[in-house]
Chains A and B, each alone.
Chain A
Amino acid sequence: MQSFTLVIYGSPESQSSSTALNYARALLKSGHEIYRLFFYQDGVLNACSFNTPTQDEENLPVIWQTLIQEHRIDAVVCVASALERGIIDAAEAERYELPASNLREGFEISGLGQLVDGLINSDRLINFLP
């Protein structure tokens, strides 16, 4: 068994996100551990709770959330990327006096240090570029 950190750089519509999701499932199925998911750049859009795709399309943020909650995976969203793209938790909404927050439950906003921590403390870090 090995521990993995996956870094997702692409939005829910991208191959980056769906490939990372399939990879995460395959890891768990093979008995590996996911130390952390780190959503970076456009990847933070996977943590949005406002997505409402048409019925014939998958809702990647919901699927990510289900996986994260079922397996109790640490899922971190980069704070700088998130604020830039309007992914906001309750604390940031209050700080910046924004009208709403939209961070999906199961995800947590934190810094790039969590990516490097994942790099240091897991056996492998895999990048899913857009």
Chain B
Amino acid sequence: MNPKNILIIIRQAPYSSTLPAAALDILLTAAAFEQNITLLFMGDGVLHLLSEQNATSSGMRNISKALPSLELYEVKKIFLEESALHKRKIENEELVMPLATLSLPEIAEVTEKADQVFNF
């Protein structure tokens, strides 16, 4: 059976709910099943990519730590929404890893190609 194209979008800010961590768990499980995965950070979701997050007192998982190792799971398509970064005045150097940015029309294209969208 051909792998499905799965698009996982994280839009919620870090430490605001458990959904971003759930998104990561779904991503890792789908990767274990050798599905074709795209991960996209939009809106407040781009804040997950900030380096030097200290999650200790929040009692929640810091998912930014897991991102650089996703390549080991064959998850190579990780993008962020271009305008979200600009609106929050975040520079590329502040991120845990360099990522390709997508414009809104490009995001529409990626969404259209996906067999399944998880929108967190």
Contacts and interface: CB of A to CB of B under 8 A. Distances in A.
Interface of A: 9, 40-41, 80, 111-113, 115-117, 119-120, 125, 127, 129
A125 B19 CA distance: 17
A79 to B, nearest CB: 12
B118 to A, nearest CB: 6
B29 A113 contact: yes
B82 to A, nearest CB: 25
B6 interface: yes
B contact patch SS: mixed
Given A120-B35, A129-B19, A129-B120, A112 B4 contact: no
Interface residues of B, number: 17
B18 A41 contact: yes
A19 to B, nearest CB: 16
A125 B7 CA distance: 13
Contact of A41 (B6, B22, B32): B22
Contacts of B33: 113, 116-117, 120
Given A119-B116, A127-B119, A129-B120, A112 B1 contact: no
A119 B37 CA distance: 13
B4 A120 contact: yes
Contacts of B118: 127
Contacts of B25: 80, 112
B22 A119 contact: no
B100 interface: no
Nearest to B29: A112
